[in-house]
Every structure is written in C-alpha cells, then in structure tokens.
Amino acid sequence: MLTCRDVASRATEYMEGGLSIRARLEFRMHLLMCGVCRLYVRQLVVTRQALRRLPRALPSDDDLDLLLGMFRSASHTNGQDSDRPQ
C-alpha cells in the first residue's frame, strides 16, 4: 500500500502516464481512500492547467493577476468537496 509520501513523490509521473499499470492502480486505490492526497493531486492538475494558459514570455502584472484569479476560482470550485481538510 502506498503512503501519502509515495503519492506526493509519484504524482507528476502519474499525471504524465509514466507509471506501470500496477503502480497506477495502487496510486488510484490510495486516492480513493485518502481525501488529502486527492486534494493534493487535484491542486497539481489545476496548477498545470493554469500554467499552460500563460504565455511563454515572462509574465506581466496582468498575467500574474490572471493566474491568481484562476487559482482563486479553482479553489472556490474545489472547496465544495467534502474531503477538503478543515
């Protein structure tokens, strides 16, 4: 059984499809049982999506405001989950 530390260290590999079938199943089983890790992985997904929307050049103040707005919006949307830590 994976620990939360294992999930944190393998999260990127999981999202990029780099885990074996067995490792992926173990990862998913842990997520089914651990709300904290589900939230962690969800936050990583939101972060990656937001970063992909930014231009390749150095961000301006407007870009930073846009990014912060995306994070705030995502946290309000995800904050309705019952597995969110108090």
C-alpha closest to that of 43 among 63, 83, 2: 83
Pair 8, 52: CB distance under 8 Å: no
> What digits encode the pLDDT tens for the residues 4-36?
999 999 999 999 999 999 999 999 999 999 999
H helices present in 1-86, as ranges: 4-15, 21-33, 35-53, 61-78
- pLDDT on residue 45: 92
> What digits encode the pLDDT tens for the residues 31-74?
999 999 999 999 999 999 888 887 777 667 787 888 888 888 87
First to last CA, the chain: 25
